[in-house]
Structure 1
């Protein structure tokens, strides 16, 4: 197993998954359902081009470090942004899962304002 940290830079304005939901009516079931809005869905799709292609998803304990650089000073909950990134890393087969057996720690995570270059810097280190 490679011991070198994996560094990923996502050149996109960070988005929260939790605050990007909408309620729609499902005509087939006759029920309401919660889905991600278009802004989040587009963000998630945009992230794909920045994801490394690994021989197999990471399935061992790691520390996940995320630095979010946002475009303005609105108040944000960093936990919601971390949840989105973990789900994206799983979706694009960087991580096998985002449970505590794999994402064993979240150290050195931060959020800052960068009006000129909103982006996300991710470091994945084996524990």
Structure 2
């Protein structure tokens, strides 16, 4: 089992997305917010990449400790975490062939120590 703790307040990827225009084609596209980009960069400081990214079936359990009791979308938090794990070289991809389940994931409250705890276990 791999355990990763990211000691910063978790954020979702979908809040405050930016609609930008491709200069070459003139088409619009949605880009992540600057806040998410900063969050992903900060996370990379706490995640040590593996020699080979995981390419087998795993359960990714995420426990989010939020700094406030505000309503939060667990699915969006998990999407951001999975993308960070792929970007940092922990998972090869975040599709259904690798992430088989997210059993045990939940959102809790800890005003003094917001963080994300990630547990990655091989599924047999």
**TM-score normalized by structure 1?**
0.91
**Unpaired stretches in structure 2, ≥5 consecutive residues:** none
- Give the equivalent residue in structure 1 for 2:105: 109
> Alpha carbon RMSD of aligned pairs, Å?
1.1
- Give the equivalent residue in structure 1 for 2:7: 11
Partner SS for 1:47: helix
* 1:100 equivalenced with 2:96 (yes/no): yes
**Unpaired stretches in structure 1, ≥5 consecutive residues:** none
Q: Please tell me whether the aligned partners of residues 74 and 107 of structure 2 are also in contact (alpha carbons under 8 angstroms).
A: yes
- Number of positions where the alignment pairs a residue of Structure 1 with one of Structure 2: 123
Matches within 5 A, 1:18-97: 18-97=14-93
State the distance in 2 between where 1:36 and 1:62 align.
26
Please state how far the C-alpha of 1:108 moved relative to its aligned partner. Answer: 0.6
Q: Please tell me whether the aligned partners of residues 20 and 31 of structure 2 are also in contact (alpha carbons under 8 angstroms).
A: yes
